[in-house]
């Protein structure tokens, strides 16, 4: 089977490994598609202790779907399409022995690239379920990678007063517009705090979602976007272990913060699949590239360097 592993900073190689044996009550899944996630990119691009290389095969992939090849579980049958959430985050390999509880049945028909987005939308849904109701409220989404774009679309479905999308890349702002954002703010071209103040007629945002993370400066800007007693949700993974937060801004505004990692596989994935199947959310603007799995090095380079207006890159086995 095809398998990929990160062997050094910015180097990932594809090898052939043995197909694993299926244990009792387990399911063998042959992946058809896997996708790069923004949370994968630091493991590829950052430098870690040389002794940690190579990383385990398949790591850190976690967005994948495929077909049941063999089943020793009554819950699944050979030939069924499934989405898989691997507990070891090793989706960058072709075959997996899966616990049935980690699988979500997918329709027999339909575009597999679209169905693959169920995993990410499920994680986003988990966060939105924890928010105050966006109904008739101003919501700001910061960072318009695939996660931020799904936040835009899902919140748009909940009848907000406005959805304001913030990102320094115009092509991602254009995707946010297509996914339902009513206002676009490019912080590299304008004062983003002033822009949001004008859009909200001075009220500022009831809900702010940080879909970028990575830097404490972005988190602190989210505090500035929020109104007094507003809610700030953190989905993006901050790369700083102890970020320097503007505590006084948070304190004096009496802000409320939540963090979301999720998802709940039994609740969030079925909801996400339903939203995609009934076309309440069109995930197609996310998917900018579909490439052979053997081109995973090129895919990671493209994603890290933000080449060719890449947003979501899907790999085919």
Q: What angle do CA 43, 48, 51 make, to 5 degrees?
A: 120
Total-model pTM: 0.94
Q: What is the pLDDT of residues 98-117, one digit of tens each?
A: 999 999 999 999 999 999 99
Within a domain: 277: no
Span 140-157, average pLDDT = 97
- Say what the alpha-carbon torsion angle 279, 77, 96, 284 is, to the nearest 10 degrees: -10
Q: DSSP character for 86?
A: -
Are 175 and 211 in the same domain?
yes
Q: Which of 143-157, 230-244, 297-311 has the lowest mean pLDDT?
A: 230-244
Q: What angle do CA 160, 165, 169 make, to 5 degrees?
A: 165
Q: What is the pLDDT of residue 215?
A: 78
Q: What is the pLDDT of residue 243?
A: 74
Which residues span the domain enclosing 77?
A: 2-117+283-316
Q: Does 57 score more than 90 pLDDT? A: yes
Higher pLDDT, 241 or 66: 66
Within a domain: 299: yes
Q: How far apart are CA 102 and CA 84, in angstroms?
A: 6
Are 176 and 66 in the same domain?
no
Are 239 and 289 in the same domain?
no
Are 136 and 247 in the same domain?
yes
Within a domain: 148: yes
Q: What percent of the chain has pLDDT over 70?
A: 99
Q: What is the pLDDT of residues 158-199, one digit of tens each?
A: 999 999 999 999 999 999 999 999 999 999 999 999 999 999
Q: What is the pLDDT of residue 17?
A: 95
Domain CATH for 141 = 3.40.50.720
Q: What percent of the chain has pLDDT over 90?
A: 92
Q: Does 217 score more than 90 pLDDT? A: no
> In whole angstroms, how far apart are CA 48 and each of 7, 8, 11, 92, 262?
11, 8, 13, 20, 26
Out of 114-128, 201-215, 255-269, the most confident range is 114-128
Q: How far apart are CA 236 and CA 195, in angstroms?
A: 23
Q: What is the pLDDT of residues 190-200, one digit of tens each?
A: 999 999 999 99
- Are 153 and 178 a contacting pair, CB within 8 Å? no
Are 161 and 244 in the same domain?
yes
Q: Which of 84-98, 163-177, 250-264 has the lowest mean pLDDT?
A: 250-264
Within a domain: 158: yes
Q: What is the pLDDT of residue 238?
A: 67
Domain CATH for 100 = 3.90.180.10
Within a domain: 274: no
Q: What is the pLDDT of residue 72?
A: 96
Are 186 and 212 in the same domain?
yes
Q: Are strands 183-185 and 63-71 parallel, antiparallel or unpaired?
A: unpaired
Q: DSSP character for 55?
A: P
Are 112 and 148 in the same domain?
no
Are 245 and 173 in the same domain?
yes
Within a domain: 295: yes
Are 211 and 303 in the same domain?
no
Q: How far apart are CA 250 and CA 226, in angstroms?
A: 9
Are 110 and 158 in the same domain?
no
Within a domain: 206: yes
Phi, then psi, of 19 in degrees rounded to 5: -75, 130
Are 105 and 209 in the same domain?
no
Strand partners, 14: 4
Are 75 and 91 in the same domain?
yes
Q: Retrieve residue 305's tokens.
A: 């360097």
Give the closest residue to 113 by CA, choosing from 265, 291, 299. Answer: 291
Within a domain: 203: yes
Q: What is the pLDDT of residue 261?
A: 85
Q: What is the pLDDT of residues 11-25, one digit of tens each?
A: 999 999 999 999 999
Q: DSSP character for 302?
A: H
> How many structural domains are present in the chain?
2
Q: What is the pLDDT of residue 262?
A: 76
* Count of beta carbons in the 10 Å neighbourhood of residue 253: 17
């Amino acid at each position: 089977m095809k398998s990929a592993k990160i062997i050094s900073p910015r180097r990932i190689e594809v090898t052939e490994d043995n197909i694993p044996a299926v244990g009792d009550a387990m399911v063998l899944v042959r992946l058809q598609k896997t996708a790069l996630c923004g949370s994968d990119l630091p493991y590829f691009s950052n430098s870690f202790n040389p002794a940690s290389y190579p990383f385990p095969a398949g790591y850190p992939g976690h967005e994948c779907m495929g077909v049941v090849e063999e089943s020793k579980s009554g819950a699944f049958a050979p030939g069924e399409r499934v989405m898989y959430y691997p507990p070891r985050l090793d989706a960058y390999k072709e075959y997996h022995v899966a616990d049935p509880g980690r699988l979500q049945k997918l329709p027999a028909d339909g575009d597999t690239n679209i169905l693959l987005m169920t995993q990410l939308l499920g994680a986003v849904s988990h966060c939105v379920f924890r928010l105050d109701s966006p109904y008739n409220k101003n919501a700001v989404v910061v960072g318009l990678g695939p996660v931020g774009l799904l936040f835009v679309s899902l919140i748009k479905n909940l009848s907000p007063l406005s959805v304001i999308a913030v990102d320094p890349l115009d092509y991602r702002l254009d995707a946010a517009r297509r996914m339902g954002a009513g206002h676009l703010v490019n912080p590299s071209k304008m004062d983003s705090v002033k822009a949001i103040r004008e859009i909200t007629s001075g009220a500022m945002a009831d809900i702010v979602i940080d879909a970028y993370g990575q830097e404490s400066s972005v988190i602190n800007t989210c505090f500035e976007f929020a109104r007094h007693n507003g809610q700030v949700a953190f989905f993006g993974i901050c790369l700083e272990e102890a970020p320097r937060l503007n505590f006084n801004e948070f304190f004096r505004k009496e802000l409320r913060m939540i963090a979301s990692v999720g998802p709940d596989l039994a609740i969030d994935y079925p909801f996400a699949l339903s939203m995609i199947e009934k076309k309440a959310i069109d995930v197609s603007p996310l998917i900018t590239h579909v490439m052979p799995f053997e081109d995973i090095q090129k895919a990671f380079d493209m994603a890290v360097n933000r080449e060719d207006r890449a947003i979501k890159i899907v790999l085919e086995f």
